Chains A and B, each alone.
Chain A
Amino acid sequence: MKTQFNRMAKVRGCVPIVAAAVWLAAGGCGGPAYEYDSVVTGTVTIEGELAPSGTITFHPVAKEGKIAIGRIYPDGSFALRTGQGDLRVSDGGTVVPGEYIVTVVVTGPAPAPTSPEGGPPSAGPLLIAERYLSRDTTDLRCTVSPGDNVVTFDLERAAAEAPESAAADDESTDEQGPDEAPAEDSAASPDRDDRAGLAAPSPEAEGATP
């Protein structure tokens, strides 16, 4: 390794300062982790549409694991960090490899920017099914491998007003063209009978394993 070290130093220059580069760039371009072994980024969609904002949380199954959290950006993407992550990079953080239970919160824009009293803004409406909020009820799981992981989660939309969804049950014409019925029905229909259960689309946990 030492002799390679010298040769590489001339050719590519990177090898001598890998540690320094990682120190600066952890999470930025993947690569070996700064603090833990995995980098996890991904995308959250709601029945195929990009989630507009929210938070995704990875709860370790193993006791010795560490919880990892990511903000969901307006393009549906997220990057996880553990604790405060690496504060030297704007969007960097690393994750302990292992099995995780995943919870997600996706909210729409708040109806009013602030409360009448000038207090904090009220939360926007929840856009996804409630089961994703809790570690006890979510059916999302993810295996995080060492190295870079890109994972996507397609979530079920929050149930619309009860009368609508009930009426849609027997409709066979709810997948018409763009001028027809609300979109909500099409994506949910294959799983309609299972909506209360756990059979809804499981995460496409497609770890881009090394």
Chain B
Amino acid sequence: MSSRRLRPIAAMAGFAACVFVAGCGGPYDASVSGTVTLDGVAVPRGTVSYHPTAPGPAAYARIEEDGSYSVRTGREEGLPSGEYLVTVISSEPPAVSQSAAGGPPPPGRPITPLWYRTTETSGLRFTVQPGHNEINLELTTQPPAGWNPGRRR
């Protein structure tokens, strides 16, 4: 058997495999999706952030109208497996798209409680395993122990 003759075929097969991998595979070994609820009700908008406890970029997700989210890192689906501190920020859309003076719109009223905005106070810590992870973020309006609205962090 002439491996010399087979080589172009192997190369062609490899070519197809590479294109396929490039098209559908991301560089990350894990993915996270789930639903965000506040006191059992789906949160209809906002941002979920996964901040790694190890050095590395944060991963983000936009919350859809049904409360679902799916995390991306940069433009790629997924994130590296590991430990993450999670924050959730959700606000009503601004009442107007521009201020009276033509300036930026005032920020909308918060939907999710403010302690979920920072990694120090959110109390949301998860281990993301390799492969797919379903992580439902069940938020409550009950402040965590020690939450002091007046205290500056």
Whether A206 and B62, one on each chain, are in contact in the complex, defined by CB atoms closer than 8 angstroms, is no
Whether A183 and B109, one on each chain, are in contact in the complex, defined by CB atoms closer than 8 angstroms, is yes
| B23 cross-chain contacts in A, Cβ below 8 A | 25, 28-29
Q: Does B103 make an interface contact (CB < 8 A)?
A: yes
| B99 cross-chain contacts in A, Cβ below 8 A | 125, 160-161
Whether A14 and B14, one on each chain, are in contact in the complex, defined by CB atoms closer than 8 angstroms, is yes
Whether A150 and B74, one on each chain, are in contact in the complex, defined by CB atoms closer than 8 angstroms, is yes
Whether A186 and B114, one on each chain, are in contact in the complex, defined by CB atoms closer than 8 angstroms, is yes
Contact with A along B46-62 (1 / 0, CB 8 A): 11010000011110111
CA separation between A179 and B141, bound complex, in Å? 10
| B97 cross-chain contacts in A, Cβ below 8 A | 108-111, 124-125
Contact with A along B1-36 (1 / 0, CB 8 A): 001000100110111011101110111000000000
A21: which of B22, B60, B72, B117 is its contact (CB, 8 Å)?
A: B22
**In the complex, residue of chain A having the shortest beta-carbon distance to the beta carbon of B4:** A6
Q: Does A9 make an interface contact (CB < 8 A)?
A: yes
Interface hits, A149-171 → B, CB 8 Å: 150-152, 157-161, 164
| B13 cross-chain contacts in A, Cβ below 8 A | 13
Q: Does A86 make an interface contact (CB < 8 A)?
A: no
Whether B75 and A178, one on each chain, are in contact in the complex, defined by CB atoms closer than 8 angstroms, is no
Chain A proximity of B29: nearest CB distance (Å): 13
Main secondary structure of the interface of B (DSSP, over half): loop
Whether B17 and A204, one on each chain, are in contact in the complex, defined by CB atoms closer than 8 angstroms, is no
Check A125/B105 contact, CB under 8 A, given A30-B27, A48-B49, A177-B113. yes
Q: Does B131 make an interface contact (CB < 8 A)?
A: no
Q: Does B130 make an interface contact (CB < 8 A)?
A: no
Whether B57 and A25, one on each chain, are in contact in the complex, defined by CB atoms closer than 8 angstroms, is no
Whether A91 and B57, one on each chain, are in contact in the complex, defined by CB atoms closer than 8 angstroms, is no
Check A150/B57 contact, CB under 8 A, given A74-B62, A78-B75. yes
Whether A13 and B47, one on each chain, are in contact in the complex, defined by CB atoms closer than 8 angstroms, is no
| B49 cross-chain contacts in A, Cβ below 8 A | 45, 48
**In the complex, residue of chain B having the shortest beta-carbon distance to the beta carbon of A52:** B62
Chain A proximity of B19: nearest CB distance (Å): 6
B14: which of A6, A9, A30, A110 is its contact (CB, 8 Å)?
A: A9
Q: Does A115 make an interface contact (CB < 8 A)?
A: no
**In the complex, residue of chain B having the shortest beta-carbon distance to the beta carbon of A110:** B97
CA separation between A78 and B152, bound complex, in Å? 33
Whether B22 and A24, one on each chain, are in contact in the complex, defined by CB atoms closer than 8 angstroms, is yes
| B91 cross-chain contacts in A, Cβ below 8 A | 49, 183
Q: Does A184 make an interface contact (CB < 8 A)?
A: yes
Whether A75 and B60, one on each chain, are in contact in the complex, defined by CB atoms closer than 8 angstroms, is yes
| B57 cross-chain contacts in A, Cβ below 8 A | 42-43, 150-152, 204, 206, 208
Interface hits, B60-110 → A, CB 8 Å: 60-62, 72-76, 87, 89, 91, 94, 97-99, 101-110
- 10 A-B pairs with CB atoms under 8 Å apart are A25-B22, A25-B23, A29-B22, A73-B75, A74-B62, A75-B61, A178-B113, A178-B141, A182-B107, A190-B152
Q: Sort A-B residue pairs by CB-CB distance and give the 4 closest, nearest first.
A: A13-B14, A41-B74, A25-B22, A158-B104
Q: A16-B11, A29-B25, A175-B114 are in contact. List 15 more A-B contacts (CB 8 A).
A: A14-B17, A25-B18, A28-B23, A41-B76, A42-B57, A43-B60, A48-B47, A48-B49, A50-B47, A50-B60, A125-B104, A125-B105, A150-B74, A176-B114, A178-B109
